[in-house]
Amino acid sequence: MSYVSVSRLRVPPERTDELVAAFRGRARLVDDFDGFLGLQVWQSDGDAGELLMVSHWRDRNCFRAYMRSDEHQVSHDRIDPALARDINLVKLEHLQTYAVVAT
């Protein structure tokens, strides 16, 4: 039906607002990509330092094409280095991907 990628990010609680602001001000380079259906950032109710970046795609191939693109690299390179260090410090969890199988 469609395809979803989920990245779980952990940041120190004091950097959460900064990370959310970064997402709100994102470059939106992905938005015009073939097969891109939308992106949301979810913040855990019980643990403010846990955020999920959830992106929807028409299918797996569209997602993979984006992941290999210059636009993806440019979007990542825009992240403030100090913030990126803090995200890295707590380690980006391995990306997980899903097929939407029912609605």
Residue 49 three-state SS: coil
- Could you tell me which of 83, 93, 79, 72 has the C-alpha nearest to residue 17? 83
Q: Could you list the residues that contact its own copies (CB under 8 A)?
A: 4, 20, 23-24, 26, 38-46, 51-52, 60, 96-103
**Minimum distance of its own copies from residue 44's CB (angstroms):** 6
Amino acid type, 37 = L
Task: Name which of 26 and 72 has its Cβ closer to its own copies.
Answer: 26
Task: Name which of 40 and 73 has its Cβ closer to its own copies.
Answer: 40
